[in-house]
Amino acid sequence: MVSLVYAVIFGCILALGLPLNATALWMLLRHHGFRSPNAVLMVNLAVSDLLLVIFLPMRVYFYATGTWPLGKMACVLVTLLFRDNIRSSSIFVTCISVDRLLAVVYPLRSRHLRTPSIAVKGAALVWLYVLMLNIPEGLNMSKHLYSQNETTCFESAYAKNPSKPIIVYFHTVVTFIMLAVNIGCTAMVLRTLHRHVSKSAMVDNKVNVMVIFAMNLVIFIICFLPVTLNSVMVISGSDLTFLICLATVNCCLDPLLYYFSLDAFWRKKEDANVRRETRTNDTEFL
C-alpha cells in the first residue's frame, strides 16, 4: 500500500514536472538563449530537471508493481541520474543566488564577471564535476548490486550498502558550503534593498527579487539537504523513499524560479520593443 502511494506521488511529479520543464526550456532557448548569465544557468537547471523527469516512469513502475525488469545497469543509471539532478541543481541554484547578488548589490563592479561566456564555462565545469562523481559511485553501486541474489533497485538495494566512496562525503561538505552561500546572499540582498530604497528602484520588481532568494533557500533546505545528509549517514526514523520524493519535488518548483527570475527581463524586452517601434514611427513620420 505504501509503495502504491509513492507510485502516485512520483506519477504526479512526472505529470507536473515534464510539461513545466519542457515548456520552460523551450521558452528559455527561444526567447532568451544564452544572452545573459542568468539565462544560461536557467537553461542548465531545466536540462538537469528534464534528465530526472523523463526517467520517472521507471520509478512509478517499480513502486506500483514491486518489480524491476530492466536489469541492474538500468537501475544504476536511473539512480545516478537522480543524484546528478540533486547535485547539479543545488549548484545551479547557488550560482543563480550569487548572480542575483552581484546584479543587485554590485551591478557595475560585477559587469565583467556576469557575462554569458563565463556562465557557459561555469556550467561546463559543473557538469564535469557531476560526471566525475558518477565514476566511483557507479562502480560501487554496480559491485553491490551484482552481489545481491535477487533483482532489486533503488533504496532496497542501497540502504544496506555500508560502502560509500569518499567523494560522497566531499560533496556533503560542498553542500553545506553552498547552503551558507545561499544564506549569505539572501541576507546581503535583503539588507541592500532595505537600506537603499532609492537604489532598489533600479530593480524591476523588489518583491520578485526577494521571492527568488526565498525560493532558493526553500528548495535547498527542503529538497537538497535531507537527501544529501542521508547519503552519508542513517538518520533515525528516516524513510529514504520519502526523502527521494521530497528531493524530486524540486523539478516542479524550479519553473517558478524561472518565472520570477526572468519576469523583469520580459518587461525590459517589451519596453525596448515599444521604444524601437516608436522611433521607427517617428522616422517614418519625418
Give the rounded percent of residues in the chain with a pLDDT score beyond 70.
77
- pLDDT tens per residue across span 227-248: 888 777 654 445 678 888 889 9
Q: Residue 63: pLDDT band by 50, 70, 90 thresholds?
A: confident
Residue 265 confidence (pLDDT): 40
- pLDDT tens per residue across span 132-180: 888 888 887 777 666 554 456 765 444 444 445 677 788 888 899 999 9
- pLDDT tens per residue across span 80-129: 888 899 999 999 999 999 998 888 888 888 888 889 999 999 999 999 99
Q: How far is CA 29 from CA 39, 243, 267, in A?
A: 9, 32, 18
Q: Residue 13: pLDDT band by 50, 70, 90 thresholds?
A: very high
Residue 262 confidence (pLDDT): 65
Average pLDDT over residues 186-194: 84
Residue 135 confidence (pLDDT): 85
Assessment of whether the complete model's pTM goes beyond 0.95: no
- pLDDT tens per residue across span 195-230: 765 554 455 566 777 888 888 898 999 889 888 887
Residue 202: exposure state from Cβ atoms within 10 A (0-12, 13-18, ≥19): exposed
Residue 195 confidence (pLDDT): 73
**pLDDT averaged over the chain?**
79
Residue 154 confidence (pLDDT): 65
Residue 121 confidence (pLDDT): 94
Lowest-pLDDT range of 10-24, 56-70, 81-95:
56-70
The residue among 17 and 203 whose pLDDT is bigger is 17
Residue 159 confidence (pLDDT): 47
Nearest-angstrom CA–CA distance, 139 and 274: 57
Residue 240 confidence (pLDDT): 77
- pLDDT tens per residue across span 261-278: 765 444 444 344 434 444
Kindly provide the b/e burial profile for residues 16-53, where b requires at least 16 CB atoms within 10 angstroms of the residue's own CB.
Answer: bbbebbbebbebbeeebeeebbbbbbbbbbbbbbbbbb
CATH superfamily of 2-268: Rhodopsin 7-helix transmembrane proteins (1.20.1070.10)
